[in-house]
Structure 1
Amino acid sequence: MINYRPKYKSFLVLLVLVVVNSCIEPFQATFVDFESALVIEATITNELKTQQVVLSRSYEFDADGPTAETGARVMVIGGGTTYNFIEGDNGIYFSDQQFAAQQGVEYNLQITTSDGRNYGSDNTQLTAATSLDEVKAERITNDLGEEGMAILVDSFDSTGNSVNYRYEYAETYRVIAPTWSPVSLIGDPENSLSCLVLKVNNETDERICYPTSFSNSIILNTTDNLDEDRVSNFMVRFINRDNYIISHRYSILVRQYVMSNESYNFFETLNELSGSESLFSQTQPGFLQGNVFSADNEEERVLGYFDVASVDEKRLFFNYDDFFPGEDLPPYVDPCNPSSPVLANMGGCVLRPIIESGAGVYFLDTDEPGINEGPYQIVPRVCGDCKVLGPPEVPDFWME
């Protein structure tokens, strides 16, 4: 089972903008009244699994990124049971036992940070359960005139109780390093000061790997304006045909969350505020209030949402040839242009440091080296060792 993180991180800069105390007229990169707010990301689901809560601190526009909130005590309370969470890495807290949210039970989140501040959430109940009926792939041309693959979903709730949906996905794809070689170069093991490199059997670089990447945007859909609670051909992902990730075999796991009206409105507003026009407009929209709060100070601003949602998921596989038979593969992630560095020049060793730093790997011998060329052609590591992109192990779920 893949652990998913709610997708707030790409919106943190925006949230910092809306928590400043004074109006901002022209946009500036420095915020004198910056307020570091606790950011809470938590979606408890009806899956029997180790649930998770993510805690961090908002950050200024020019900062490197959010700071994990460490050393906190985290609990979810529901139905007379307290579920304690244990801290992992990067501010992610995991429940110390597997549990699944139950219908008709009210859940709330309680947090005590390392400095003794207390935070909580409104009571929240599990949403109605709706199956994700189908995940399918179609070759399309989108509204921008780009050709590629659309990942589409269908679902239907005959009771009409679901209505609001949020989607996440994890995509895994087979990558084949285009210039992998069974031969590798190493520096002369007998002399660390020598500029000599030796050809050996390649026992370190991988030709086939299976990277995984996750959705990083808020994907919402509602059937509120339709005659029935039916999701039909809703596109959760578009992949341009020139994207190397579909070059061979591609898989996507789509997860459909059923949301309450309150949760949907929060994420919809967050999504709207993330647009560039809202982000840099002179009229700031004000603080976006979720269902989390400070239990000690009602004036303290807390960002995020505690959601309790029903979820269903389905996985899809396809090959490039299934939709583009006989057509050229998409370009690789790197053009893989070879070069032939000299072994040494007046400044010292040239090729050996490139090899030993991992910047380049062996491709071919140079047939007739020029004046400023060495005996070996090398390419960027990503071209001859796909581990740069992802692990070589075949995932447990993988199907041919």
Structure 2
Amino acid sequence: MKKYLAILVSLIIGSCVDPYRPPAISAPNTYLVVDGFLNGAGTSSIRLTRTQNLSDGKKPTVETKATVKVEGEKGGSQTFVDKGDGTYTLENGNLQFGQKYRVSIKTAAGRNYQSDYVVIKKTPKIDEVSWKVLQNEGIQFYVSTHDETNSTKYYRWEYEETWEFYSAFYSRVEYLKKAFVTRMDDINHCWGSLKSSGIFVGSTTQLTQDVINKAPLLFVSRTASNRLKYRYSLLVKQYAQTAESFEYWQNLKKNTESLGSIFDPQPFQVIGNIHGITDPTESVVGYLSGYSVEEKRIFVNSSELPTEWNVPSMYESCLPDTAPINATREKPSAAQQAESGAIPIDEIFSPFGAIIAYRMSSAYCVDCRTAGSNVRPSFW
């Protein structure tokens, strides 16, 4: 949903005198953004935020203290739990596959919104997540699945990447409370992670069988990052879609990935299935769907990749510096450098065993937490 703002504004078309600035860029409206789904086999989660102007440069404002309910077409309703951060969850909602439900929202300001009824679909299992070396420049990942009942037809995927990496230097010393002491935590070994930002959809409506065979997902370059340096993991999530939700995501994909010159097709507003009740003319960003979630995780070890690959560590330019105990005309002291943000690596001793300096470097080169987390993932 974060990319959806690009859909609400037109392209900025330059001219030789003054750039054209569409009114939408400075429009005061903040539309409700509804991001989430109804889970037929687990916890349902819906996040409410507000759109903002592209020039604001701020994080989206979360919509708190709202009342979110799910209502069955055959009657009955359940209220989501407000987590206080714009997220609303419903655990063990016992939503039934094949049945229709809708979501109603009442904000703290008293404005009401409602989705169309959506059917809860059961998602088939993922058959395989595979990969292959592509043109010796990286690896391409694929997903395969099928539905023996030939009833799914429409699919959508998201993924989460996780990779292991090491900073340039192992730090055994830290500067704490104006003193150099032995470091107790490991800030050299970390894991990075990213969630998919693109839109990945597939359909089997033109096929005789409901089979997706190696639909391409992401490509991971061997030179653009350190993701393939040691060990890499990809978690793929699969969602069954209705024809209507598939069309919504397909149109959104066209808008977010096909923007080019003024001679290319211009963006159009993608219409969701959530509407303003207090003000029927008010736009609402988002599309509510209902389905179960299927997941599959794979790992890629560096030993499985071509031996001639030289995957960068991303720390090639890192160098240590010697910081003296006492400041000199040429250099500030180790303590002064530490207070300015440098991270100590280890001690430098005199021939007599006294500490005379510390090796130090930037936080980026020493502390891997600047690019990830030093907490080992539970699945690693």
Give the alignment's TM-score, normalised by structure 1.
0.81
Counterpart secondary structure, 1:273: helix
Partner in structure 1 of residue 353 of structure 2: none
* Pair 1:51-2:19 in alignment: no
Mapped to 2, the partners of 1:90 and 1:281 lie a distance apart of: 42
Q: What is the distance in 2 between the residues matched to 1:139 and 1:100?
A: 43
1:43-88 deviation digits (Å, cap 9, x = unpaired)? 122222x221011111112012321111111111225342221222
Select 1:62's aligned residue among 48, 51, 55: 55
Task: Choose which of 149, 153, 160 in structure 1 pairs with 2:143.
Answer: 153
Q: 1: distance between equivalents of 2:334 and 2:20?
A: 48
1:117 aligns to what? 111
User: CA-to-partner distance for each residue in 1:338-359, whole Å, 9 max, x for gaps?
Assistant: 34467647899564354235x3
Q: Does 1:166 align with 2:166?
A: no
**Amino acid in structure 2 at the alignment position of 1:127:** K
Partner of 1:361: 343
- Partners of 1:348 and 1:148 in 2: CA distance: 44
The residue type paired with residue 7 of structure 2 is L
**Equivalent residue letter for 1:9:** K
The gaps in structure 2 that reach 5 residues or longer are 12-17, 351-355
Amino acid at match of 2:188: R
Q: 8 Å contact 1:186–1:356 — kept in the other structure?
A: no
Shift of 1:218: 1.4
Q: Decide whether aligned partners of structure 1 residues 344 and 85 sit closer, same or farther in structure 2, where only a CA change above 3 A counts.
A: farther
Secondary structure class of the residue paired with 1:269: helix
Report what 1:221 is aligned to. 202
Q: 1:83: which partner in 2?
A: 78
2:36 match: 42
Q: Is the partner of 1:10 in helix, strand or coil? A: helix
Correspondence for 1:238: 219
Matched position secondary structure for 1:170: strand
Q: Distance in 1 between matches of 2:128 and 2:267?
A: 38
Amino acid at match of 1:104: G
Provide the rounded CA distance (Å) in 2 between the counterparts of 1:42 and 1:311. Answer: 12
Compared CA separation, residues 29 and 355, structure 1 to 2 (3 A): farther
Deviation at 1:227, TM superposition (A): 3.3
Aligned to 1:28: 21
Per-residue CA shift, 1:250-304, capped at 9, x if unaligned?
1111001111111011111112112463697798655321100011221111111
Q: Residues 130-149 of structure 1 correspond to what in structure 2 (within 5 A)?
A: 130-141=124-135, 147-149=137-139
Residue of structure 2 equivalent to 1:377? 359
User: Structure 1 residues 184, 286: closer, same or farther in 2, change over 3 A?
Assistant: closer
For residue 15 of structure 2, what is the aligned residue in structure 1? none
Query: Displacement of 1:160 after TM fit?
Result: 2.3
Q: Are 2:335 and 1:352 aligned?
A: yes
**What is aligned with 2:2?**
9
User: Any idea what the Cα deviations from partners look like across 1:10-41, whole Å, max 9, x if unmatched?
Assistant: 222323559xxxxxx96427635442111111
Contact (CA 8 Å) 1:292, 1:303: kept in 2 or not? yes
Runs of at least 5 residues in structure 1 that lack an aligned partner in the other structure = 1-7, 19-24, 190-197, 369-373
Q: 1:130 to 1:276 in 2, by over 3 A?
A: closer
SS of equivalent to 1:394: coil
Pairing partner for 1:305 from 279, 287, 294: 287
Whole-angstrom distance in 1 between the partners of 2:258 and 2:315: 28
Q: In 1, distance between residues paired with 2:263 and 2:83?
A: 38
2:183 maps to what in 1? 202
User: What's the offset of the Cα at 1:205?
Assistant: 4.3
Following the alignment from structure 2 to structure 1, what is the Cα–Cα distance between the partners of residues 339 and 83?
Answer: 34
Shift of 1:91: 1.5
Cα RMSD of the aligned pairs, angstroms, is 3.1
CA distance, structure 2, for counterparts of residue 236 and residue 378 of structure 1: 41
- Offset from partner CA, 1:300-358 (integer Å, 9 cap, x none): 1111111112321111012111113364342326732334467647899564354235x
Distance verdict in 2 for CA 1:81–1:354, change over 3 Å: farther
- Percent identity of paired positions between Structure 1 and Structure 2: 27
| Deviation of the 1:365 alpha carbon | 5.9
SS in 2 for 1:12: helix
- CA contact 1:37–1:301 (8 Å) conserved in 2: yes
Separation in 1 of the partners of 2:319 and 2:134?
32
From the superposition, tell whether residues 43 and 350 of structure 1 become closer, same or farther in structure 2 (CA, over 3 Å): farther
Q: Which moved more, 1:309-318 or 1:54-63?
A: 309-318
SS at match of 1:337: coil
Counterpart selection for 1:266 from 210, 230, 248: 248
The structure-2 alpha-carbon separation of the partners of 1:287 and 1:350, relative to structure 1 and needing over 3 Å to count, comes to: farther
- Per-residue deviation, 1:202: 1.8
Q: 1:211 to 1:275 in 2, by over 3 A?
A: closer
CA contact (8 A) 2:152 2:210 kept: yes
3-state SS, counterpart of residue 157 of structure 2: strand
| Secondary structure, counterpart of 2:365 in structure 1 | helix
How many angstroms apart in 2 are the aligned matches of 1:276 and 1:28? 21
Cα distance between partner residues in 2 of 1:89 and 1:353: 41
Q: How far apart in 2 are the matches of 1:84 and 1:353?
A: 55
